[in-house]
Homo-oligomer: A and B are copies of this chain.
Amino acid sequence: MSDKKPYILLSNDDGIYAPGLAALHTEISKIADVVVVAPDSERSAVGHAITLSDPLRVWDYKKNGDFFGYAVSGTPADCVKIAYWALLERKPDLVISGVNRGSNAGINAIYSGTVSAATEGTILNIPSFAVSLTTYLEPDFSYAAKFAGKMAQHVLENGLPTGTLLNINVPPLPEKEIAGVMVARQGLSQFKEHFDKRVDPNNRIYYWLTGEKIELDQGPDNDDYAIKNNYVSVTPLHYDLTNHSFLTNLKSWNIEK
């Protein structure tokens, strides 16, 4: 393999067996030397969890007899950490997390393991992005993976500011029906949750969490709006969570010890 090829780390939260990761691997292998480090099973909605209380196991996952990548008994953030600090021989030029099954637009970014893998890459000063296909129904990852390949080239060429990652969401449409690409802020719509209360065969109560997004943030410049209007959304996120604009006001509270 040529030394000139970029070296790209792929991860996800749907697990190393996920078809979205396979589609991404196929596409990114066309332009880069690829290494996969991904959870050994689905870790959706794990947020930015890391594993401190248990040891991590790592094993080689083969696909059709060939080495495909490292499977890790941990979260997406664990995968990127252990890749960087223990498994890889050199620092990747780029981290891509995905292609996730289901939207990570708007408030979903907070809960997303897919986004957390890209955040972890960013914390390690590696340009990083997450890519998701906004459907659970019979997903066809081909266009989203192709778009990820295009974005990889943009990011390798332009770089990203320190501490900044991209959160990309792709509507589940054939390429010709995609309206375009919208650079968008994170939508702030919320979830209306419902806890479905049930009784198990031993007469114990349990709850299932279900929820639906309430469109409180109408856009038009946010990622939820972009997806709804058939655009790919590209949203720059950062992990400095400070509300800088409130700092001065908060100082005026004159809090004493």
* Chain A residues within 8 Å of B, Cβ to Cβ: 42, 44-53, 55-58, 75, 77-78, 81-82, 84-86, 107, 109-111, 116, 119, 123-124, 147, 150-151, 154, 158, 161, 163-164, 166, 175, 178-181, 183, 185-186, 188, 190-191, 193-195, 197-198, 204-209, 232, 234-244, 246-247, 250-251, 253, 255-257
Are the CB atoms of B234 and A250 closer together than 8 Å?
yes
Inter-chain CA distance A74–B172, complex, in Å, is 32
Are the CB atoms of A243 and B237 closer together than 8 Å?
yes
- In the assembled complex, 30 residue pairs joining A and B whose CB atoms fall closer than 8 Å, in A order, are A42-B53, A44-B53, A45-B51, A46-B49, A47-B49, A47-B116, A48-B48, A48-B110, A49-B49, A50-B111, A56-B209, A58-B207, A82-B195, A82-B207, A85-B193, A110-B239, A123-B191, A150-B256, A154-B253, A180-B256, A180-B257, A181-B257, A185-B242, A186-B241, A234-B250, A235-B242, A236-B246, A236-B250, A238-B242, A239-B241
Are the CB atoms of A81 and B193 closer together than 8 Å?
yes
Inter-chain CA distance A45–B161, complex, in Å, is 26
Q: Most B CB atoms within 10 A — which of A51, A206, A250?
A: A250
Number of copies: 2
Inter-chain CA distance A151–B250, complex, in Å, is 12
Which residues of B lie under 8 Å from residue A235 when comparing CB positions? 242
Are the CB atoms of A185 and B52 closer together than 8 Å?
no
Which residues of B lie under 8 Å from residue A163 when comparing CB positions? 188, 243
Are the CB atoms of B154 and A85 closer together than 8 Å?
no
Which residues of B lie under 8 Å from residue A42 when comparing CB positions? 53
Asked, given contacts A45-B50, A85-B195, A257-B232, whether A240 binds B209 with beta carbons under 8 Å apart, the answer is no
Smallest CB–CB gap between A134 and chain B, Å? Answer: 15
Which residues of B lie under 8 Å from residue A52 when comparing CB positions? 44-45, 209
Inter-chain CA distance A119–B180, complex, in Å, is 33
Which residues of B lie under 8 Å from residue A77 when comparing CB positions? 47, 111
Which residues of B lie under 8 Å from residue A150 when comparing CB positions? 255-256
Inter-chain CA distance A150–B257, complex, in Å, is 9
